[in-house]
Amino acid sequence: MPYLPVGTCYFSRTLIWNSNRIKMDTISILFVCLGNICRSPAAETIFKSIVEKEGVEDKIEADSAGLISYHEGESADSRMRNMAYQHGYLITHKSRPIQKSDFYKFDLIIGMDNENVRKLHQLCPPDAKAEIHLMTEYCTQHTDEVVPDPYYGGTAGFTHVIDLLEDSCIGLFKHIINK
């Protein structure tokens, strides 16, 4: 493996950083979708796998939550878990609704689609520290406007969610490291 200075990477499904040289503040990130059983637990899991591979678990914390409490306490949707597993990710998160305290606890809160982001801005207390962003802002390979809700669709929708999340999670990680 050739030497890579911090700030560069191989842009593939495996991101390889010279993580010993990473100097950064700690940051906490909350991924949010509607039900917290498909997109945001997958985003959390994929992002954490990058963080673990790069050995910066002590610097970057990640969690996920939903805008509705309907699925509270449930495991992620089996279709999402199976698709993630086929791509090498084990989703263990249990659904939870977002709380007011999350807007004070997390530095970055990232919605999967425009409706998620609109609702997050509506719920965010004016004195909260969280910055709210859209997940696809961090994509560098895909041009999709949002991470679409796969819940009522077929298998292809879940595959597409994984593709978009791998792209955006790598982009997000690079963005954080380069800050």
Nearest distance, CB of residue 20 and ligand 4NP, angstroms: 36
Chain position whose Cβ is nearest to ligand 4NP: 35
Nearest distance, CB of residue 39 and ligand 4NP, angstroms: 4
Residue 35's SS3 state is coil
Whose Cβ is closer to ligand 4NP: residue 35's or residue 171's? Answer: 35
Report DSSP state, residue 61: E
Whose Cβ is closer to ligand 4NP: residue 36's or residue 168's? Answer: 36
CA–centroid distance for 31 within its chain? 5
Helical (H) or strand (E) element with 167: helix 155-178
The reply to whether 39 belongs to the active site is: yes
Whose Cβ is closer to ligand 4NP: residue 12's or residue 78's? Answer: 78
The reply to whether 149 belongs to the active site is: yes
Nearest distance, CB of residue 157 and ligand 4NP, angstroms: 10
Please state, in angstroms and rounded to a whole number, the distance separating the CA atoms of residues 75 and 44: 14
Which stretches of 3-131 are DSSP H helices?
39-53, 78-86, 102-105, 114-123
Please state, in angstroms and rounded to a whole number, the distance separating the CA atoms of residues 136 and 48: 17
Q: Which of 102, 149, 167, 169 is catalytic?
A: 149
The reply to whether 9 belongs to the active site is: no
Whose Cβ is closer to ligand 4NP: residue 9's or residue 151's? Answer: 151
Catalytic residues: 33, 39, 149
